[in-house]
Structure 1
Amino acid sequence: MDVVRSCLGPRYVVVCGMAQYAILWGTMVGYTITTATSIMAVARTNCHHSRGHDAACVSSGTTYMVVFGLVEVVLSQFPSLEKLTLISVVAAVMSCTYSFVGLFLSAAKLASNHGSHGTLLGVKIAADAGVSASTKTWHSLQALGNIAFAYTYSMLLIEIQDTVKSPPSENVTMKRASLYGISVTTIFYVSLGCIGYAAFGNAAPGNVLTGFDEPFWLVDVANLAVVIHLVGAYQVYAQPIFACYEKWLAGRWPDSAFFHREYVVPLPGGGGRAARFTMCKLVLRTAFVAGTTVVSLMLPFFNAVLGLLGAIAFWPLTVYFPVTMYIAQAKVATGSRKWVALQALNVGALVVSLLAAVGSVADMVQRLGHVTIFQTQL
């Protein structure tokens, strides 16, 4: 937001802040759902391995979401957890682990099928297939949001650039890093998407790792890697929200002990170690994580939630503000070819975001008629 204030002025900061904090909180919801989905996949895989693949192995994600929420309540009390290098290292290792396992398992399944199960036009629209034209339309639009969600790194871009050493200049380094990063990400995602669809066909699951049972130990490793990754990544998105409202509240009530009095609790083991917290931090962070968990329990839709998050974040944070700041900083003349091209990019991204949002919300509405609130299942 500081960059937006510097380049565009204070009136844009409110809109940028709303979009940024909305996607941060929405990602917390998505991570809660994803974690429960991965743990349920582990439970089902182990059940099928021990009882047979035809066994009725049904598990509910409600308990897993609650446990995940309790873990995050504890972690939320640690200061500056999002700045720990260890979290970034673990996240990178875990991300590579489950990504490559998913790609390997999909490729192995495709090879064992002796042919592709997918079709060029996807699922057929037919009454006996249970897919109507509207459902296929919503799912197609929702897929745009899922793709957009994969590229919502803009809210971390400036923070990363601030840590880059020069020479060469941060601008040159980040351009090169963005080019390589987006290229590798695109190649990997497209490969996994195409191979996964070819392997499963129209029965492809939203989370590809939930579609495998064997080898059970490898599937478990991949799903547990997802869980480990998201336990730490949750705080990366939560801590900026905590810092924002705690700073505002502390300034609003500068004499309140609730916001300013620090309590010290000695930790076992000696060495002078102690936990320091304020009642504001203890109460409000706990309430915030609890509220996020409740919302996650009410919206147990993996693909729809990710699609909506992608739709919300893609246009304003990934396209509109960066493009508008570039136009202002580079003094691009209104009406010039470059200006027209950039505005066309703006409009195109806006259309994609709107369509993805409509598709995701419509899918949620449809699914709400067939699910029980607070009962999450694969």
Structure 2
Amino acid sequence: MFCVFNALGQISFAFAGHAVALEIQATIPSTPESPSKVPTWKGALGAYFINAICYFPVALIGYWAFGQDVDDNVLVNLKKPVWLIASANLMVVIYIIGSYQVYAILVFELLDRMMVKKINFPPGIALRLIARSSYVAYTLFVGITFPFFGDLLGFFGGFGFSPTSYSPSIMWLVIKKPKRFSAKWIISWSCIFVGFFIMLPSTIGGFRNIIADASTYSFYT
């Protein structure tokens, strides 16, 4: 049961691009005649569609082939052909290099701003090189030290990303105050309830699995 809860969090994490959607939209020129929300909406639909056709076949086929014993990284379960496994791992590296920049852009900007304001570090290439390289090194250290990859995805997917899926609905209800039981009112509340009920069990499942794995894990072995 807890594995099912954890899987909900992993799915939430996989489709958590909305966490940086507003940051991307802010960089798009916007005018009353051509608002930025139009290309943002089209981009979001395209991105989620590509996510779905990439993730769901792998998840379904992996479960069909290996059942509940499938590892968090399905490539670990594969033994051959070697060339296919190597190619898949190479594609993962290429994907991570690009996606890491997108997901971490908010942290990068926060670090840059903090170093400029707090310690008067001059803005420029040196600032970005030091701040961003330090953050990458830190996340690498955490990843090596606590390699509960699937459990962490489930926990952060539920605790960190699911709330961002329904908080806009709450803000919209507060600002717009739509008529009760209208279509938009029902859809907004549906998003809130679905997001909340994904957040709660997935966070619990991920946290429980982290504790269970940590009890049998030896660091750096």
TM tier, smaller: 0.7 to 0.9
The aligned residue for residue 7 of structure 2 is 143
Cα deviation 1:33-73 (Å, max 9, x = unaligned): xxxxxxxxxxxxxxxxxxxxxxxxxxxxxxxxxxxxxxxxx
Q: Distance in 2 between matches of 1:175 and 1:182?
A: 11
- Does the CA-based 8 Å contact 1:153-1:318 persist in structure 2? no
- Does 2:188 align with 1:342? yes
Q: CA deviation at 1:296?
A: 1.6
Q: CA deviation at 1:149?
A: 1.0
The aligned residue for residue 18 of structure 1 is none
Q: Distance in 2 between matches of 1:180 and 1:294?
A: 34
The aligned residue for residue 333 of structure 1 is 178
Unaligned runs of 5+ in 1: 1-136, 263-275
Cα deviation 1:154-177 (Å, max 9, x = unaligned): 123234444378876543444344
The aligned residue for residue 59 of structure 2 is 193
CA 216–308 in structure 1, closer or farther in 2 if over 3 Å, else same: same
The aligned residue for residue 260 of structure 1 is 122
CA 308–165 in structure 1, closer or farther in 2 if over 3 Å, else same: same
Cα deviation 1:324-344 (Å, max 9, x = unaligned): 343356x23263433244124
| Mapping of residues 1-378 of structure 1, within 5 Å | 137-161=1-25, 162-163=27-28, 169-253=35-119, 256=120, 259-260=121-122, 276-278=125-127, 282=130, 284-320=131-167, 322-327=168-173, 331-333=176-178, 335-337=180-182, 338-375=184-221
- Does the CA-based 8 Å contact 2:20-2:102 persist in structure 1? no
TM-score, structure 2 length as denominator?
0.81
TM-score, structure 1 length as denominator?
0.50
- Does the CA-based 8 Å contact 1:314-1:349 persist in structure 2? no
When you count helix as a share of all residues, which structure comes out higher?
2
- Does the CA-based 8 Å contact 2:154-2:206 persist in structure 1? yes
Bigger Rg, structure 1 or 2: 1
Counterpart amino acid of residue 237 in structure 1: Y
Counterpart amino acid of residue 114 in structure 2: W
Query: How many residue pairs align between the two structures?
Result: 218
Q: Distance in 1 between matches of 2:28 and 2:185?
A: 31
Local SS of the residue matching 2:126: strand
Q: CA deviation at 1:140?
A: 1.1
- Does the CA-based 8 Å contact 1:311-1:354 persist in structure 2? yes
Cα deviation 1:144-200 (Å, max 9, x = unaligned): 101111110112323444437887654344434434443453354333322221122
CA 287–190 in structure 1, closer or farther in 2 if over 3 Å, else same: closer
Q: Distance in 2 between matches of 1:188 and 1:288?
A: 28
Local SS of the residue matching 1:306: helix
CA 181–246 in structure 1, closer or farther in 2 if over 3 Å, else same: closer
CA 188–287 in structure 1, closer or farther in 2 if over 3 Å, else same: closer
Q: CA deviation at 1:233?
A: 3.3
CA 247–190 in structure 1, closer or farther in 2 if over 3 Å, else same: closer
- Does the CA-based 8 Å contact 2:116-2:123 persist in structure 1? no
Cα deviation 1:76-133 (Å, max 9, x = unaligned): xxxxxxxxxxxxxxxxxxxxxxxxxxxxxxxxxxxxxxxxxxxxxxxxxxxxxxxxxx
